[in-house]
Amino acid sequence: MANPINIDLNLNLPETPKGVPEAMDGEMRKVYNAIRALARYISTTLASAITSATPVRGAVALVAGTSTVALPTIVAGTRIFLSVQGLGTVTVPQPVHVVVAAGVGFTVKSADPTDTSIVAWMFYQ
């Protein structure tokens, strides 16, 4: 479960605008209140969007430069972030990439076919 994120949009707008000429007070108050309502809506919507994403993460040990993660909930176009966490048979981290199979999972591949490194992965679902 994602940790909640507190988003506080503070426009420094008091409840009642000050210094508005009396002749414009009614119309100005409508515009002012609309801006405040829009700011609240954006703040609430943004907070909801950020906190609703759940990170999915793990790590795999490469065998002969590849490893497959079974994950039937994955969809096409998912962006997966990879990070080499520990070196295996290689002396320097090798480039790694991922191939996604929607509804099945994904495969992590190294540029070196002998690589046995540990690769951490993460995406938001």
Which sequence spans correspond to the domains of the chain? 1-53, 55-124
Asked if residue 20 has pLDDT above 90, the reply is no
Check residue 15 and report its DSSP letter.
Answer: S
DSSP E strands in 1-125: the ranges are 55-61, 66-70, 81-86, 96-101, 105-110, 118-124
Beta bridge partners of 124: 55
Least confident of 17-21, 67-71, 121-125: 17-21
Question: How far is residue 29 CA from its own chain's centroid?
Answer: 38
Asked if residue 13 has pLDDT above 60, the reply is no
Of the chain, the percentage scoring pLDDT greater than 70 comes to 70
Q: pTM to 2 decimals?
A: 0.58
Residue range 64-122, pLDDT digits in tens: 999 999 999 888 888 899 999 999 999 999 999 999 999 999 999 999 999 999 999 99
Q: How far is CA 120 from CA 36, 77, 107, in A?
A: 43, 19, 12
Q: Regarding predicted confidence, which is higher, 44 or 70? A: 70
Cα end-to-end distance, the chain, whole Å: 11
CB 124 within 8 A of CB 53: yes
pLDDT of residue 8: 52
Residue 85: phi and psi, rounded to 5, are: -105, -25
